[in-house]
Amino acid sequence: MTIQAPVPPAESLRAFFRNHASGVAIVTGVNAASEPIGFTATSLTSLGTNPPLVSFNVAQGASFYQSLCEGAHVNLHSLTVENLDLAARLAGPREGRFSVADWTSDANGVPLFSAVSAILNCRILKVVEIEKNSVVIAEAISGQLGQAGEPLIYHSRAFKAGGQTLRQNG
């Protein structure tokens, strides 16, 4: 490993996460005006199955943050390479995010994108505020499986395909 000159911690963090891959998900909800809201998330992770909990991060400056409250319903969508355009759209300008007719509303009015590999219907349990961000803890209520496929990943400022299997783990 090359020893580098010291850099500010924020720059070290940015460099670290450019190197670190993540899965790509879409989180959807509804705002106070009953409008669909959503964004492309790379922070989605499991918090165990008993009870079945997940967490994801939302910047306090994000429009989605205004609609976060305990008990609110959100839908999580795991994306494959087939969902590249969807991932880019939900990471783009807010006004265009629901401009394509590839979604429906579920019984709670929360947008559902069906052409994904898996959906998890959740209810927000807790919003933990950490400086300018928030860690959202949500409980899984139900879920649906779609078409399995190569997972979409985010790495080094690019959307990539999950590649070859190196080792099965159980």
**Which of the residues 45 through 104 are near a second copy (CB under 8 A)?**
45-55, 57, 59, 76, 78, 81, 84, 88, 91
Q: Tell me the closest approach of the beta carbon of residue 66 to a second copy, in angstroms.
A: 18
Rounded to 5 degrees, φ, ψ at 106 are -85, -175
| Residue count, binding to a second copy (CB under 8 A) | 90
Distance, C-alpha 43 to centroid of its chain: 6
Cβ-based nearer residue to a second copy, 67 or 117? 117
Q: How far is the CB of 116 from a second copy (least distance, A)?
A: 8
Q: By CB under 8 A, name the one of 39, 64, 98, 159 that touches a second copy.
A: 159
Query: Interior CA angle at 143 toward 169 and 98, to 5°?
Result: 110
Indicate the residue among 35 and 88 with the shorter CB distance to a second copy: 88
What's the CA gap between 97 and 10, in Å, rounded? 30
**Residue 120 contacts a second copy per CB under 8 A:** yes
Query: By C-beta, is 9 or 33 nearer to a second copy?
Result: 9
Of the pair 39, 159, the CB lying nearest a second copy is at: 159
Compute the least distance from the CB of residue 127 to a second copy, in Å.
11
- The interface with a second copy within residues 16-45 (CB under 8 A) comprises 16-17, 19-23, 25, 42-45
Strand segments (E) across 24-146? 25-30, 36-41, 45-49, 52-59, 73-78, 103-105, 111-113, 118-130, 133-145
Q: Cα separation of 34 and 8, whole Å? A: 42
- Alpha carbon dihedral 80, 85, 89, 90, in 10-degree steps, equals -10
